[in-house]
Amino acid sequence: IKNIGVLTSGGDSPGMNAAIRAVVRASIYHNLKVTGILRGYEGLIQADFIPMDGQSVANIIQRGGTILKTARCDAFRTKEGRELAHKNLVESDIDALVVIGGDGTFTGADLFSSEFDFPIIGLPGTIDNDLAGTDFTIGYDTAINTVVNAVDKIRDTAESHDRLFIVEVMGRDSGLIALRSGIGVGAEAIMIPEAKMGVDDLICRLETGRKDKASKIIIVAEGDEAGGAYVVGEALKEKFPKSDIRISVLGHIQRGGKPSCMDRVLASRFGVAAVEGLLAGKTDVMVGQINREIVFTPFSQSIKHIDAKAISPTWLRLVEILSL
Ligand code: F6P
């Protein structure tokens, strides 16, 4: 391997810049060239490449977003798109790839790997933490801290007005952001797809729960089957017409901001492991960390529709004990 291409793809996550920096610095350390690919697979198909050096990643470890930009790319889902991407890589003398992203990124990488003999390693970069093969993904820690900071503020006003707030957090198909942040803010209830609580169950819990505390925070994961904060809010307003209920959808603030130290360190470790993994002959795998050790998991096993990261009953029990 002489020239590693690096890209970020899918939804951005805080810490992606730290990961890019680590890939670039590790490549330089091992006397390799490194090429930045702009806007993920889109840039691969359009041959939008930039040479990178130590200076190009200076002072980015603390920055949210991704200096390489990112996109969700439909063309890479087609065989023609992937063929063009491969041709561009070969013509530019790029002979290995590091892709930083989530489920969609690794689905594409796995397909690419099955079609071409081309070394490719993934770094888990998504706030959702919904990949198997790592305890944490890059960006998750920052996102849950963003949620905690926001909900702490909502709690202040909720308490002043004796209001019930339904706060919706991100996580397309996963309740992991809701679960941890919900525990962190002391939520009165947490609705996540993995627990299938349902609005009726929530109403029952509110009816039987503490009566001495008028302010309540309900955290709802965006992917919960109940249908999101507005649907839950309407049902509660109907059932409890005397309650003062407000909705807050936190949205994309969860994807931005300075990465936490946890995310910076995780991303730095993963970036170096990816470059050294490629040099050791690894391909078609995602770098992860399980019980503090670096592990490599085949893309096909890391993506959630194959091996969903289930939430253990012990977490659900914790919520049960601590809420309401
Ligand atoms: O996968 C990360 C994520 O932030 C999900 O939690 C969310 O559903 C989705 O991306 C939003 O994507 P977009 O920014 O493209 O609307």
Structure confidence at residue 309 (pLDDT)? 57
Q: How far apart are CA 24 and CA 16, in angstroms?
A: 12
Ligand 1 centre distance from Cα of residue 158 (Å): 27
**CB of 36 closer than 6 angstroms to any ligand 1 atom:** no
Structure confidence at residue 320 (pLDDT)? 86
**CB of 304 closer than 6 angstroms to any ligand 1 atom:** no
Structure confidence at residue 210 (pLDDT)? 80
- Residue 181's pLDDT band (boundaries 50, 70, 90)? very high
> Is 16:48 a contact under the CB 8 Å cutoff?
no
**CB of 286 closer than 6 angstroms to any ligand 1 atom:** no
At 5-62, the pLDDT tens digits run 999 999 999 999 999 999 999 999 999 999 999 999 999 999 999 999 999 999 999 9
Contacts of residue 19, Cβ cutoff 8 Å, sequence gap at least 6 = 8, 100, 123, 125, 138, 267, 268, 270, 271
Q: Counting atoms of ligand 1 from 1, which one is nearest the CA of 103?
A: 1
**Location of structure tokens 């939430």:** 311
Percent of the chain with pLDDT over 90: 88
Structure confidence at residue 307 (pLDDT)? 43
Whether 305 has a pLDDT exceeding 70, the answer reads no
What mean pLDDT comes out for the span 105-125? 98
Higher pLDDT, 212 or 243: 243
**CB of 170 closer than 6 angstroms to any ligand 1 atom:** yes
> Is 163:215 a contact under the CB 8 Å cutoff?
yes
CA dihedral 64, 65, 68, 73 (to 10 degrees): 160
Ligand 1 centre distance from Cα of residue 10 (Å): 8
> Is 175:194 a contact under the CB 8 Å cutoff?
yes
At 186-199, the pLDDT tens digits run 999 999 998 888 99
**Location of structure tokens 């491969």:** 86
Flag whether the ipTM exceeds 0.95.
yes
Question: Pick the catalytic residue: 12, 110, 128, 284?
Answer: 128
Structure confidence at residue 83 (pLDDT)? 98
